[in-house]
Every structure is written in C-alpha cells, then in structure tokens.
Amino acid sequence: MDTKKFLQKLSNAYGISGFESGLNDIVISAMKNYTDDIHVDNLGNILAVKKGTNNKENLKVMLAAHLDEIGLIVTYIEENGFIRFSNIGGIDPRTLLSQEVVVHGKEDIIGIIGARPPHFQSSDRANKTIKMEDMTIDLGLSKEEVKRVVKIGDPITIRRNFASLQGERVTGKALDDRAGVVTLLECAKELEKIVHEVDVYFVSTVQEEVGVRGAFTSTYSINPDIGIAIDVGFGATPELPKKDTLEMGKGPGITLGGNIHPGLRKHIVKLADEYNIPYQMEIAPGATGTDGYAIQITKAGIPTLCISIPLRYMHTSVEIIDMVDIRNTAKLLSLFISSITSDNLEGFLCY
C-alpha cells in the first residue's frame, strides 16, 4: 500500500484508547504482505512477525508504535438532548470549542461542541478558558432521538480529514502515533531488500495514551532481546524552545536519557552517520512518556531505544508531519535490524 494513502486511512479512521479494534483490518491488510505471521492479542495489540535468516539463537527485535488516539467519551445526556463528555487521554480543552465531532453510537452522528457565548458571560469570565465540563455536544436532536442511537460510554472523535500541505508535509488527526505505525510498514518493506538474522516483531500497541498498557503486555509475551519505541517528538515552531524540539524534515530524533540503552544508542547513531541518514538528538532526562518506558521495565528489563518522528501541534486535530521523516526513520531502523547478529549483540549490550 502507498505510504501516504496508508497514513490517510489510519488518520481518518477512529480508534481512541480502548476502542482501537476498528483499525485492525486496515493495519493487518497492509502488513500481511510483508510479514510471516500476524495476530491480535488479548488486549488488542497487533503483532506482525517477520522471520530472520539462520536465526539459530532465536534473537528478537520488537518495534512498537501505538495505534490509539486521544478522544472523548459520552458521560451524560441532558434533558434537551445535549451531550456531556469527558476526555480519554491528554486533551487541551482550548482546542475543543466549536469543533465538529463524531459520536460513535449505534451509528456515527456528527455534532458540534458548544458553550455559553461570550455575550452571556460575566466580564470576569470572558477572557478565561472555558472548562470541558462547561461544554456540551449538540447533535441537533431531542433527548429521545439521541438516546435511540447514543448511550453513556460511547466514544467521540474530532471530525477532521487528512490533507496534504506543501511539499511532503501532511496534516490530520491521530498522526500521533499512526505515523509510527506507518513507519513499521515502511521498515518491513525495507527489510524485504535486506538479509537480517533476527526475527522482527512489528507491534501496533493499544492504550498508550492512557498508560502504555499495550506495550507492557506485548513486551511481556514477546520478551525481545531489543525493544524500540517509535513515537513522535515536538516539531519546531517559533514559540517553542529549540532545545525541546525537532526540526521538520531533518530526520528522526534519537533519544538520549535514562530510558535508553547507551550501547544501542551509540550503535544506531554510528549507522546513521555511516549511511548519511539525517537524525537529531532528543533529550529525555526521565521516562520518555512513550511505549519505551513500558518496554524497558518489563520482565527482567529490555534494552530499549526510542525514535521520534518530528510532529507539530501534538494532541490536536491538525497535527503535521513530513513524510520524508517517516522514510528516513524506516531506513535507519532497517539498517539497525540487519546489523544485529548473534555474534555482535552481546557487545552492543555491554555497558
């Protein structure tokens, strides 16, 4: 499947944390042609395995990118048919007001997020951020009509279509981290051209946005020799400090910090230099807040890397990425995987 079309399909589909199963067919149909086995585990993670050549030591490398997106959930239906809601995952309430949404009930229904107009607000509240609990969703239906198709607990997503911008940049919702899932596919394609000894587990994890849950369970079942989390990092914009951001189009961020195995980080940086693949350094003094945290501390501990794709406007419905960064991330990962053998792995893992 074409890379951009795959990302478009994933972005336009819905799958907030705990409700990801509607994405399974999209991911499985794309990955099955490049892997040897694919299945969905008990929690909902999609595990696609690509076998290595002459892998006598049964070496395993796990690549994880989370499939879930942030979203909303129905909490109450008012007498006038308006819907109260809460968030699933980290949502800034300032991004919600006046958004079109889709309530995923018995059928998908379009609604609008509204609140008290400024004309009816007191002067002391007019310049303050409206809280989520003061917003409602208007479906244009009576309570009786709403209750026929919507129930408490139904998921809600922002209604936003994927779009191409100038050059290689695209925008849409849930690019955090469906851009990472697309990178898994691109890496699998790259590995079709390269001999690799290790078995590769491409894992589309669930429930990352609410506690990296899918990464914990999938890592436990796989017990890989190396784990790599592919997520997004803060793309540079004028108002953000340069030290905390990644430049768009200039390659993935390779994370440096306590969550990261130093020997593996040095090795992947060396490969990037050797093959002229652009990259940037990303500093994470503590836990990375990604699947990498779960991978690292599972079982007896897994040597872990985190790779970040630059992304602007994180946790909004207008996230932006550069497709060039996806391709470069996939190339670097494929070279790293092909470089790992039973003869050299112990050396890379030594502190």
Distance between CA atoms of residues 217 and 205, nearest Å = 9
Structure tokens at 315: 């946790």
Q: Which of 208, 209, 282, 319 is catalytic?
A: 208
Structure tokens at 334: 């494929």
**Residue 100 appears among annotated catalytic residues:** no
Distance of CA 253 to the CA centre of its chain: 15
The candidate with the shortest Cα–Cα distance to 43, out of 13, 19, 62, is: 19
Q: What is the CA angle 204-264-330, rounded to 5? A: 45
Active site residues: 208
